[in-house]
């Protein structure tokens, strides 16, 4: 049985990567999904695949009006908003802190935090009224960098740690009508990009696969689809109505990486 029949959702940065896998899975589970994307080509691809089940909105998560428009579009097209998924993000490719010139720090900080933190705050603020009306929930995309160093640089890791506090405070303030939870993926094969002018993409980094596989106890680099069902569980009132302020880690077991050798027979 479809687990999200009758639900409507909004995913930011849902044109590619983890967000796109969540859109695909939500549609497969019976939901209608608004998707805030950056480009017409992402919008066209979504419409070609999912037709009337999706409503792409072209915009920028750093912009308040675009977030409002995205929420309004979902409510107008699908009647309500049950699940908001702030997900759009950018990466710093683990650039060492000392490689950032002090004079450039404020600019780089703004570029990264404006997407990774402000973008989440604006989406949440724009969604509150509709989510309160539906007694819905927010499911943020966090990261293993919300808990551990080494998977990003100082700017990225700080931004993802900041979101832990965001979730706790919002879960506290918005209860009991709105639940606020998150999924925290570890290394995932996507084209996650950088700040303006940086054309690197995560999946193109040489050795990224092998590096993640070697680091995590479960021994492989995850795919976006590996995380998507967890968003369904946190969105579903049937499956998680007593859960708020929870962060589900989908990171191959970083918590138990330990210092010793893996068990015989592990990959």
Ligand X SMILES: NC(=O)c1ccc[n+]([C@@H]2O[C@H](COP(=O)([O-])OP(=O)(O)OC[C@H]3O[C@@H](n4cnc5c(N)ncnc54)[C@H](O)[C@@H]3O)[C@@H](O)[C@H]2O)c1
Active-site annotation, residues? 156
Q: Which residues bind ligand X (CB under 6 A)?
A: 13, 15-19, 36, 38, 60-62, 87-90, 115, 141, 143, 185, 187-188, 190-193, 202
User: Smaller CB distance to ligand X: residue 66 or 82?
Assistant: 66
Range 239-244 contact pairs with CB under 8 angstroms and sequence separation of 24 or more? 239/3, 240/137, 240/179, 240/181, 241/179, 243/179, 243/181, 244/137, 244/171, 244/175, 244/179, 244/180, 244/181
| CA–CA gap between residue 258 and residue 235 (Å, rounded) | 32
User: Smaller CB distance to ligand X: residue 13 or 34?
Assistant: 13
Count CB neighbours of 23 within 10 A: 29
C-beta of 21: minimal distance to ligand X in Å? 8
User: Smaller CB distance to ligand X: residue 134 or 143?
Assistant: 143
Which helix or strand (DSSP H or E) is residue 42 part of? helix 40-50
| CA–CA gap between residue 247 and residue 234 (Å, rounded) | 10
C-beta of 156: minimal distance to ligand X in Å? 7
C-beta of 134: minimal distance to ligand X in Å? 24
| CA–CA gap between residue 127 and residue 100 (Å, rounded) | 35
User: Smaller CB distance to ligand X: residue 174 or 221?
Assistant: 221
| CA–CA gap between residue 125 and residue 12 (Å, rounded) | 14
C-beta of 176: minimal distance to ligand X in Å? 28
Q: Are 49 and 124 in contact (CB under 8 A)?
A: no
- Alpha-helix runs per DSSP H in 51-153: 64-78, 105-113, 119-134
| CA–CA gap between residue 217 and residue 230 (Å, rounded) | 20
| CA–CA gap between residue 51 and residue 43 (Å, rounded) | 11
User: Smaller CB distance to ligand X: residue 15 or 56?
Assistant: 15
C-beta of 1: minimal distance to ligand X in Å? 28
């Amino acid at each position: 049985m479809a687990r999200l029949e009758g639900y409507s959702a909004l995913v930011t940065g849902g044109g590619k990567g983890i967000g796109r896998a969540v859109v695909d899975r939500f549609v497969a589970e019976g939901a209608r999904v608004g998707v805030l994307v950056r480009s017409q080509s992402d919008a066209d691809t979504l419409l070609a695949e999912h037709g009337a089940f999706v409503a792409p909105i072209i915009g920028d998560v750093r912009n308040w009006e675009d977030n409002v428009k995205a929420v309004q579009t979902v409510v107008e097209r699908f009647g309500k908003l049950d699940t908001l998924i702030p997900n759009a993000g950018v990466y710093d490719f683990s650039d060492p802190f000392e490689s950032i010139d002090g004079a450039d720090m404020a600019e780089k900080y703004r570029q990264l935090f404006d997407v990774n933190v402000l973008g989440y705050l604006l989406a949440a603020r724009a969604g509150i009224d509709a989510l309160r009306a539906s007694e819905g929930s927010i499911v943020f995309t966090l990261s293993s960098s919300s808990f551990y160093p080494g998977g990003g640089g100082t700017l990225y890791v700080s931004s993802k740690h900041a979101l832990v506090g965001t979730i706790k405070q919002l879960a506290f303030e918005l209860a009991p009508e709105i639940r606020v939870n998150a999924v925290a993926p570890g290394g995932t094969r996507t084209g996650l990009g950088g700040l303006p002018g940086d054309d690197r993409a995560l999946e193109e980094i040489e050795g990224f696969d092998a590096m993640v596989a070697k680091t995590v106890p479960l021994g492989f680099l995850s795919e976006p689809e590996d995380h998507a069902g967890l968003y369904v569980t946190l969105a579903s009132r049937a499956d998680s109505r007593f859960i708020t302020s929870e962060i589900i880690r989908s990171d191959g077991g970083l918590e138990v990486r330990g210092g010793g050798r893996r068990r015989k027979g592990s990959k």
